[in-house]
Amino acid sequence: MLPLEGTKVLDLSQRAPGPLCTMVLADFGAEVVKIEAPQEAGISRAWSDLNLPLRERVYNPLHRNKKSMTLNLRADPGKEIFYKLSQGADVILEGFRPGVAKRLGIDYESISKINPRIVYCSLSGYGQDGPYSDLPGHDINYISIAGALGMIGNSPDSPPAIPLNLVADFAGGSLHAVIGILLALMARGKIGRGQYVDIAMIDGVISLLGFSTYEYFCFGRIPQRGDDMLNGGFPCYNVYQTKDDGYISIGCVEAHFWENLCRALGREDFIPYQWSQDKEKQEETFSFLRKTFLTKTRDEWFELLKNTVPTGKVYSMGEAFADPQVLHRKMMVEIDHPEAGKVKQIGIGIKLRETPGKIRSLAPSPGDHDEEILLSLGYTEQGIRSLRSKKVI
pLDDT at 214: 86
Q: Are strands 237-241 and 196-200 parallel, antiparallel or unpaired?
A: unpaired
Higher pLDDT, 366 or 323: 323
Which residues participate in catalysis according to the annotation?
A: 138, 169
Q: How far from 304 is each of 211, 235, 244, 386, 391, CA to CA, in Å?
A: 32, 19, 16, 70, 65
Name the pLDDT band for 59 (thresholds 50, 70, 90).
very high
- Count Cβ atoms below 10 Å from residue 73 Cβ, excluding itself: 20
Rounded Cα gap, residues 339 and 55, in angstroms: 9
Domains of the chain: 8-208+335-389 (3.40.50.10540), 237-320 (3.30.1540.10)
Summarize the confidence of residues 151-168 as an average pLDDT: 92
pLDDT in tens, 187-206: 999 999 999 999 999 999 99
- Residue 52: which pLDDT band, with cuts at 50, 70 and 90? confident
| Beta-strand runs (E) in 281-338 | 311-313, 332-337
The whole model's pTM is what?
0.93
Q: What is the DSSP string of 8-74?
A: EEEE---STHHHHHHHHHHHTT-EEEEEE--GGGT---TT-GGGS-HHHHHH-GGGTTEEEEE--TT
pLDDT in tens, 87-103: 999 999 999 999 999 99
Res. 57 pLDDT band, cuts 50 70 90: confident
Model confidence over 262-279: pLDDT tens digits?
999 999 999 999 999 999
In this prediction, residue 248 carries a pLDDT of 98
pLDDT (average), residues 109-123: 98
